[in-house]
Amino acid sequence: MTTISTPTELITAVPFLLNAAPEECLVFIALSEGAVALAVQAELPHAPELDGAEPYLAPLRESDIDQLLVLAYLPSDFSREKGDQIWEQLQRICEKIAPVKDFLIIHQGQWRSFLCKNQECCDPAGEPLPDIASSEFAAEHVFQGLVMPPLTPAPTEPRDLLALLDRARAEFERCEPSNRSKRGVIALLRLISHFTIKRELENQSLVADALIALTDIQVRDFGIGSHGDENLELHRELWRALLDSAPVGYRGPTATLLALVRYEGGDIEGAKRALERALTDDPHYSLAHLLQKTFAAGWPPEAFTTMRHQLHPKLEAELLG
Which of 181-190, 244-253, 312-321 holds the top average pLDDT?
244-253
Q: Are 8 and 130 in contact (CB under 8 A)?
A: yes
pLDDT at 321 over 90: no
Residues 173 and 107 in one domain: no
Q: Are 273 and 307 in contact (CB under 8 A)?
A: no
| Across 125-141, average pLDDT | 77
Residue 224 lies in a domain: yes
The structural domain count of the chain equals: 2
Determine the Cα–Cα distance for residues 244 and 163; give it in Å rounded to an integer. 18
Whether pTM > 0.75 for this model: the answer is no
pLDDT digits (tens, 9 = 90+) for 49-87: 676 667 778 888 888 899 999 999 999 888 887 788 889
Which pLDDT score is estimated for 146?
A: 59
Its domain, for residue 212, covers: 161-320
Residue 140 lies in a domain: no
Residues 167 and 278 in one domain: yes
CATH number at residue 314: 1.25.40
- Residue 247 DSSP symbol: P
pLDDT digits (tens, 9 = 90+) for 283-314: 999 999 999 999 999 999 999 989 888 888 88
Determine the Cα–Cα distance for residues 196 and 229; give it in Å rounded to an integer. 15
| Nearest-10 crossing angle of helices 161-174, 177-198 | 140
